[in-house]
Chains A and B, each alone.
Chain A
């Protein structure tokens, strides 16, 4: 398209007086798409959560308003157990991801030969699809011929091989391991980005004043990373909260619901038991948890994000 055609096409929108029309025009496609595919569905599922429906069909007459789903949810043990599983998963996996992510970022932020390769390697699991990670770790944690059991027995940590997928506690550990492996690279990438934004002068000044390496880490690097950390923390927590495929494919929420998170419970109620009203109610409550949690986490420290 030549610039001539373009200027004819913009209907005088480049004139300063009409520029805010242009601004809205540019935003329109995004807004329309989001309204149709996020806002409208959200309203639908909010509405569904107050109806006693099985398989929802668009255009069906609306069922009468009821609080049944929410009442059922608050009195069911499966819901509270899913909350507890999700909470433990969020705390453990977030802590591990943050520590491992920061450690790897600090490591590859040093200057050495082959640094690009190390960086690529450290962040690689981020690009591996979750389902592939599930395949890898179900092989590694295979009860009879898995590498992990073999190594544990060999090292004398355990005497008997562990039944990773039929023991509730062990299955939870496997889920945690897979999620940490998939989750830490994101922290690493973001932390690395934050590290590179720290001005070199600060370190030089620190060196001049005689700060040792660990002092530079504690008094310069970590405080300077804090704003980025707030953002990373929220994104990681939300990811764990909402992630579905890892748990669903790895354990299906079992054994005896030991790894059934809120996301898995929602999906199973909707598409295994076809209780879409009830599932929507669980999903809405999950969403409320996410909102409260991230408000709490962001606090005032990371307002810069907005």
Chain B
């Protein structure tokens, strides 16, 4: 009995310590944003902000088009997720329910797509998007992000659809449902956790992108995404840490919130994709 208590105390201590160490950088970002400017340039560093200066958020909002950046990021992420989900739901359903020639090599294909360095792909894409006039336009990042998301999301969704018994949609089709009806009324409702995990993955991927946004959007300030906007605030010699940290927090917040809601689906969704 006593040993068990020891073990559980030890467990709690190690969990708390681990989380504290791993999340300290995030905490430090909050401290940096809310500290008095002068305190950021003295040692020892201040570990706790006694008088948080919330007005830093008002200040950066007034000085920089942060809302515009966030809107652009949201458009890019939602567009890329919508496009890739629309495409990969059908592709995954096809690969899961029918025997398609070459369908077995999907895993191999996904892996190959994962190997393509974004820095290599971005060179020809720049030429293509320039030819069709997408440079400085959010459509360029939506398409580019979708290509990042589609291979992996198809693979994840196929794994998830495979866990749903075929008999379910076959029964629906016997009862007069079309294959599309079976997909939309039977398979997708059951696969909601898988869809959520996949959408989350795509959202995080798109929201965090910097390489594509920098290449396609730098020339057009009105189309800057949040990440791109944030990078322009770090000066080479002088950095206003209060403001940079505040904008960094604002940029990270949406994706953390999305993650908060969808995290419980993630482990399940990834498992379905990863194993078998």
Contacts and interface: CB of A to CB of B under 8 A. Distances in A.
Interface in B17-75: 18-19, 22-23, 25-26, 28-29, 32, 40-45
Interface string B265-276: 011101100111
Interface string B180-195: 1100010000000000
Contact of B87 (A33, A38, A227): A33
Interface residues of A, number: 104
Given A107-B18, A122-B19, A306-B104, A127 B256 contact: yes
A7 interface: yes
A65 interface: no
Contact of A279 (B90, B123, B231, B251): B123
B215 to A, nearest CB: 6
Interface in A111-132: 112, 116, 118-132
A26 B271 contact: no
A133 B124 CA distance: 29
Interface string A174-210: 0000000100000001101110110000000000000
A244 B211 contact: yes
Interface in A134-170: 135-140, 144-145, 147, 150, 154
B252 A128 contact: yes
B98 interface: yes
A48 interface: yes
Given A139-B245, A235-B114, A20 B127 contact: no
A129 B208 contact: yes
A181 B121 CA distance: 26
Q: Among B23, B43, B112, find the residue whose CB has the most chain A CB atoms closer than 10 A.
A: B43
B263 A123 contact: yes
A19 B251 contact: no
B230 A132 contact: yes
B231 A294 contact: no
Interface string B122-133: 111111101100
Given A228-B274, A238-B115, A294-B111, A132 B248 contact: yes
Contact of A44 (B15, B127, B274): B127
Nearest to A37: B147
A68 B100 CA distance: 42
B91 interface: yes
Given A26-B94, A37-B125, A147-B45, A130 B210 contact: yes
B117 to A, nearest CB: 4
| Chain B interface extent, by class | 35 or more
Contacts of B106: 306
Interface in B107-165: 107-108, 111-128, 130-131, 143-144, 146-147, 150-151, 154
Interface of B: 8, 11-12, 14-15, 18-19, 22-23, 25-26, 28-29, 32, 40-45, 86-88, 90-91, 93-95, 97-100, 104-108, 111-128, 130-131, 143-144, 146-147, 150-151, 154, 173, 176-181, 185, 204, 207-208, 210-211, 215, 227, 230-231, 234, 239, 241, 244-245, 248, 251-252, 255-256, 258-260, 263-264, 266-268, 270-271, 274-276
Interface of A: 3, 6-7, 9-10, 13-14, 19-20, 22-24, 26-27, 29-31, 33-34, 37-38, 40-42, 44-45, 48, 56-59, 104, 107-108, 110, 112, 116, 118-133, 135-140, 144-145, 147, 150, 154, 181, 189-190, 192-194, 196-197, 227-228, 231, 234-235, 238, 241-242, 244-245, 248-249, 262-264, 266-267, 270-271, 276, 279-280, 283-284, 286-287, 290-291, 294, 304-306
10 contacts: A29-B86, A57-B127, A122-B22, A126-B204, A135-B29, A139-B29, A190-B270, A197-B271, A227-B275, A245-B211
